[in-house]
């Protein structure tokens, strides 16, 4: 008689017969595969439907013209395309320098209290709901300035990008071989010079990844812009640049005019158009969805391919 | 003479400029922390009047809670309830699917399929929330939500106890808390699946080998060895997903129907904390209205802060227990 002690606990707990256990095994493994397939259904459903619907309404005018008045056919979303560019580039400019420098600290001091705290802070920041970031942008800038502006929207998006940039840069800095850094230090180069002219170029590709992923997230976000950038259907950079008094055409005067007024972005436009009872606006919102989806998916795929290639390169494969 | 000595000094400072550099990195790093603190502080500051006016009643469960911009009386419980109900319902749907995906990707899938499948699941998380919303309004609501809602209403609507949750009628458009829960489930599956897949991959190979050597089948190994071993990590993944669901704004606002009505039913339209802010903030009537909305934002911030801390702690515990070399 077999005693409990000699009988493997696992076999006992899983019940009777070998055949039943085999059947359960195959059944459950197949179910996990089916679940994976099921989860991909929405992905292909959304992508194909947006391609189908948006593809019908997309044309050159869509990219090059300003919106027409409500109820009129045609027109485009030039204002939102320009707005998205302004907002995301501004956000990247604000977020990248401090993010990259902070990443150096976190990568080289992972066990110091501040390093641990900053990593935790980055996690917290990446978990803050985007609508709350919008409220923060409102309280920080819109309230102080007294009006909605592209600047406020850019800052809100920058906060959203920051954790991604820090995380990816930190990972890449850690992947740079120690010998490279030690070699530079041994030659007498100070720490900062080593960081800027040895480690940073070696990790530059990782920073590009962080930039692309951050851009992908920022260009798809709506909630932080609702009460910072607000939206502006007559935003046209060409007109804004030419609108100043002849004598005040300095780069800063122009920048000030570009950043100081409310601005639209593609997701913001999509959200507004989708709620309007005009069929041509609904059709245009599908076209906007198509453009937006392509931008975000492409940025993601490129960033992932890039990180794969660079990781292999740094690991010497 | 003087200029050259200044230049020499400058060169010395630059050449041995490690102190300024270290100070700079430290400054930027603490900037991240300060930013997180500043978010909390500004939300606290700008909701002070609302908090003073309504006290804890603002967020505590209340019967017949009022949200009335005309009389300046605000209680946020209906929105907190909407957020909790939709997020928890989404979790119930998302957990089994995500675990299935994680198991398939980490344990079963052939190696060549693993990377592209993982990418595809993660791309699901990259699709912008407004695109989900648009698809939700015109495709998902009429095609999926309304039939499911009708079915739930007819099946569970009459069972005492459950009737409260499944009371109909579901609106003809399909816009309801159920729609929000289903869309949230789709949106958080990638998060939970990706993190739990990484948890499975972090479990030492020896655990699997020992179990298989004792005669367990592959499924028994997964169910009785791997899942208990990685349980805290999986829990962390689930909490991360919950955090994402709580804060999700655009897609939910577009499909939940945005109505302040008393019904607690899953099949009726409602509001979440994020969607009331999105809908009303830009057009807030009074100062107290604005402050109350920021107060809701503060509550949301605190909730996600606590959840994220808990999740990171759990995932970190699993990672700490497993030495790098022992991983599969």
CB contacts < 8 A, A to B, total 271
**Is the Cβ–Cβ distance between B197 and B99 less than 8 Å?**
no
Sign of the Cα torsion B301, B306, B309, B312 reads: negative
**Pick among B250, B274, B316 to test the A interface (most A CBs inside 10 A):** B250
Share of chain B above pLDDT 90, in %: 64
Distance from CA of A69 to the nearest CA of B (A): 22
DSSP assignment letter at A265: -
Distance from CA of A290 to the nearest CA of B (A): 9
Q: Give the start-to-end residue ranges of the domains of chain B.
A: 2-46, 54-326
What would the pLDDT profile of A66-94 be if each residue is shown by its tens digit? 888 887 778 889 999 999 999 999 999 99
A83 touches chain B (CB under 8 A): no
pLDDT tier at A148 (50, 70, 90 boundaries)?
very high
Strand pairing category for B67-68 and B73-74 = antiparallel
Distances (CA, A) of A264 to A79, A126, A153, A237, A273: 7, 24, 10, 12, 12
Task: Give the angle subtended at the CA of A192 by the CAs of A187 and A197, to the nearest 5°.
Answer: 70
Dist CA A139 CA A145 (whole Å): 10
Dist CA B137 CA B44 (whole Å): 35
Please state the rounded mean pLDDT for residues A213-235.
91
Structure tokens at A268: 């913001």
* Contact between A129 and B211 using a beta-carbon 8 Å cutoff: no
Place of tokens 């090059």: A64
Q: What is the pLDDT of residue B15?
A: 61
Q: How far is CA B246 from the centre of its chain?
A: 5
A306 touches chain B (CB under 8 A): no
What would the pLDDT profile of B191-249 be if each residue is shown by its tens digit? 999 999 999 998 999 999 999 999 999 999 999 999 999 998 899 999 999 999 999 99
Within chain B, how many helices (H) and strands (E) appear? Answer: 15, 2
Dist CA B324 CA A258 (whole Å): 51
Residue B169: asked if its preceding bond is cis (omega within 30°), the reply is yes
Residue A109: pLDDT over 60: yes
Place of tokens 């344990």: B107
Q: What is the pLDDT of residue A4?
A: 45
**Is the Cβ–Cβ distance between B248 and B187 less than 8 Å?**
yes
Q: Give the start-to-end residue ranges of the domains of chain A.
A: 9-54, 58-314
Reported as half-sphere exposure (CB side, CA atoms, 13 A), residue A34 has a value of 7
Share of chain A above pLDDT 70, in %: 92
DSSP assignment letter at B69: T
Dist CA A45 CA A43 (whole Å): 5
Dist CA B195 CA B237 (whole Å): 5
**Is the Cβ–Cβ distance between B214 and A11 less than 8 Å?**
yes
Count of beta carbons in the 10 Å neighbourhood of residue A117? 16
A273 touches chain B (CB under 8 A): no
* Contact between A40 and B121 using a beta-carbon 8 Å cutoff: yes
**Is the Cβ–Cβ distance between A264 and A79 less than 8 Å?**
yes
Task: With beta carbons under 8 A apart, name residues in chain B contacting A304.
Answer: 119
**Is the Cβ–Cβ distance between A67 and A75 less than 8 Å?**
yes
A96 touches chain B (CB under 8 A): no
CATH number attached to the domain at B54-326? 1.10.3720.10
Residue A206: pLDDT over 80: no
**Pick among A22, A27, A56, A127 to test the B interface (most B CBs inside 10 A):** A127
Count of beta carbons in the 10 Å neighbourhood of residue B284? 17
> ipTM of the assembly?
0.90
Q: Which of A190, A202, A184 is nearest to A107 (CA)?
A: A202
Dist CA A76 CA A57 (whole Å): 10
Please state the rounded mean pLDDT for residues A211-218.
90
Please state the rounded mean pLDDT for residues B148-173.
87
Task: Give the angle subtended at the CA of B251 by the CAs of B305 and B166, to the nearest 5°.
Answer: 90
How would CATH label the architecture of A58-314?
Orthogonal Bundle (1.10)
Dist CA A164 CA A173 (whole Å): 14
Is B2 in a helix, a strand, or coil?
Answer: helix
Residue B309: pLDDT over 90: no
Please enumerate in sequence order all residues whose Cβ is within 8 A of that of B221, keeping only pairs 6 or more positions apart, or say none: B208, B211, B212
Q: What is the pLDDT of residue B251?
A: 95
Of B26 and A251, the one with more pLDDT: B26
Q: What is the pLDDT of residue A158?
A: 96
Dist CA B248 CA B132 (whole Å): 11
Q: Which of A177, A266, A191, A178 is nearest to A225 (CA)?
A: A266
A24 touches chain B (CB under 8 A): yes
**Is the Cβ–Cβ distance between A152 and A141 less than 8 Å?**
yes
Dist CA B124 CA B42 (whole Å): 33
* Contact between B130 and A222 using a beta-carbon 8 Å cutoff: yes
Q: Which of B185, B195, B181 is nearest to B234 (CA)?
A: B195
Q: What is the pLDDT of residue B314?
A: 80
Is A1 in a helix, a strand, or coil?
Answer: coil
Strand partners of residue B73: B68
Share of chain A above pLDDT 90, in %: 55
Q: Which of B233, B231, B229, B207 is nearest to B218 (CA)?
A: B207
Sign of the Cα torsion B26, B29, B35, B41 reads: negative
Distance from CA of A37 to the nearest CA of B (A): 9
Distances (CA, A) of A137 to A144, A266, B217: 10, 19, 54
pTM of the model: 0.91
pLDDT tier at B85 (50, 70, 90 boundaries)?
very high
**Is the Cβ–Cβ distance between A224 and A152 less than 8 Å?**
no
Of B14 and A176, the one with more pLDDT: A176
**Is the Cβ–Cβ distance between B224 and A10 less than 8 Å?**
yes
Q: What is the pLDDT of residue A9?
A: 47
Q: What is the pLDDT of residue A204?
A: 84
Please state the rounded mean pLDDT for residues A196-213.
86
Dist CA B224 CA B220 (whole Å): 6
**Is the Cβ–Cβ distance between A224 and A157 less than 8 Å?**
yes
* Contact between A271 and B193 using a beta-carbon 8 Å cutoff: no
What would the pLDDT profile of A273-301 be if each residue is shown by its tens digit? 998 888 888 999 999 999 999 999 999 99
**Pick among B120, B141, B183, B219 to test the A interface (most A CBs inside 10 A):** B219
- Mean of the per-residue pLDDT values for chain A? 87
Q: Which backbone phi and psi does B302 adopt, to 5 degrees?
A: -65, -45
Q: What is the pLDDT of residue A244?
A: 64
Count of beta carbons in the 10 Å neighbourhood of residue B226? 21
* Contact between B108 and A33 using a beta-carbon 8 Å cutoff: yes
pLDDT tier at A5 (50, 70, 90 boundaries)?
very low
* Contact between A35 and B247 using a beta-carbon 8 Å cutoff: no
């Amino acid at each position: 008689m077999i005693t409990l002690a000699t009988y493997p606990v696992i076999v006992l707990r899983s019940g009777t017969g070998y055949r039943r256990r085999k059947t359960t095994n195959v059944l459950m493994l197949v179910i996990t595969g089916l679940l994976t397939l099921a989860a991909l259904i929405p992905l292909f459903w959304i992508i194909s439907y947006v391609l189908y619907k948006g593809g019908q309404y997309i044309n050159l005018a869509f990219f090059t013209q300003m919106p027409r008045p409500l109820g009129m056919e045609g027109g485009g979303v030039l204002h939102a395309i320009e707005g998205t560019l302004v907002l995301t580039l501004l956000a990247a400019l604000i977020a990248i320098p401090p993010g990259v420098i902070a990443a150096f600290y976190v990568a080289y001091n992972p066990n110091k209290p501040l390093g641990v705290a900053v990593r935790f802070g980055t996690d917290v920041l990446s978990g803050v709901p985007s609508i709350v970031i919008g409220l923060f942008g409102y309280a920080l800038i819109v309230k102080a300035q007294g009006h909605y502006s592209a600047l406020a929207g850019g800052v809100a998006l920058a906060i959203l990008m920051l954790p991604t940039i820090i995380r990816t840069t930190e990972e890449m800095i850690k992947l740079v071989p120690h010998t490279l850094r030690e070699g530079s230090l041994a030659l007498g180069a100070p720490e900062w010079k080593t960081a800027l002219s040895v480690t940073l170029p070696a990790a530059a590709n990782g920073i590009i990844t962080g930039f692309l992923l951050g851009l992908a997230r920022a260009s798809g976000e709506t909630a932080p812009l609702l009460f910072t950038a607000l939206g502006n259907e007559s935003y046209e950079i060409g007109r804004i640049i030419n609108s100043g008094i002849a004598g005040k055409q300095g780069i800063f005067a122009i920048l000030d005019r570009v950043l100081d007024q409310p601005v639209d972005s593609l997701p913001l436009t999509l959200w507004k158009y989708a709620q309007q009872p005009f069929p041509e606006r609904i059709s245009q919102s599908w076209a906007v969805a198509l453009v937006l989806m392509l931008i975000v998916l492409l940025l993601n795929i490129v960033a992932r391919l890039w990180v794969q290639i660079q990781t292999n390169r740094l690991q010497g494969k | 003479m003087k200029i050259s000595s200044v230049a020499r000094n400058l060169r010395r400072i630059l050449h041995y400029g490690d102190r300024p550099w270290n100070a700079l990195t430290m400054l930027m790093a603490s900037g991240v922390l300060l930013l997180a603190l500043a978010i909390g502080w500004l939300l606290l500051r700008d909701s002070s009047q609302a908090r003073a006016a309504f006290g804890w009643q603002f967020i505590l469960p209340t019967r017949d809670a009022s949200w009335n911009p005309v009389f300046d009386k605000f209680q946020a419980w209906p929105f907190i309830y909407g957020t909790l109900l939709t997020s928890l319902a989404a979790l119930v749907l998302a957990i089994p699917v995500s675990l299935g995906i994680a198991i398939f990707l980490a344990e079963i899938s052939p190696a060549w399929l693993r990377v592209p499948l993982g990418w595809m699941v993660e791309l699901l998380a990259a699709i912008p929330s407004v695109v989900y919303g648009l698809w939700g309004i015109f495709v998902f609501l009429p095609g999926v939500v309304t039939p499911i809602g009708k079915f739930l209403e007819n099946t569970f609507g009459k069972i005492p106890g459950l009737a409260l949750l499944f009371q109909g009628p579901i609106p003809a458009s399909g816009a309801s808390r159920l729609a929000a829960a289903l869309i949230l489930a789709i949106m958080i599956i990638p998060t939970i699946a990706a993190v739990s897949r990484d948890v499975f991959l972090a479990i030492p190979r020896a655990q699997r080998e020992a179990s298989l050597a004792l005669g367990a089948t592959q499924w028994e190994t997964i169910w009785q060895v791997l899942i208990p071993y990685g349980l805290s990590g999986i829990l962390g993944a689930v909490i991360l997903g919950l955090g994402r669901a709580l804060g999700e704004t655009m897609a939910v606002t577009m499909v939940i129907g945005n109505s302040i009505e008393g019904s607690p039913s899953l099949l009726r339209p409602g509001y979440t904390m994020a969607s009331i802010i999105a809908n009303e903030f830009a057009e807030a009537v009074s100062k107290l209205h604005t402050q109350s909305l920021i107060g809701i934002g503060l509550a949301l911030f605190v909730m996600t802060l606590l959840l994220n801390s808990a999740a990171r702690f759990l995932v970190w515990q699993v990672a700490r227990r497993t030495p790098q070399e022992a991983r599969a």
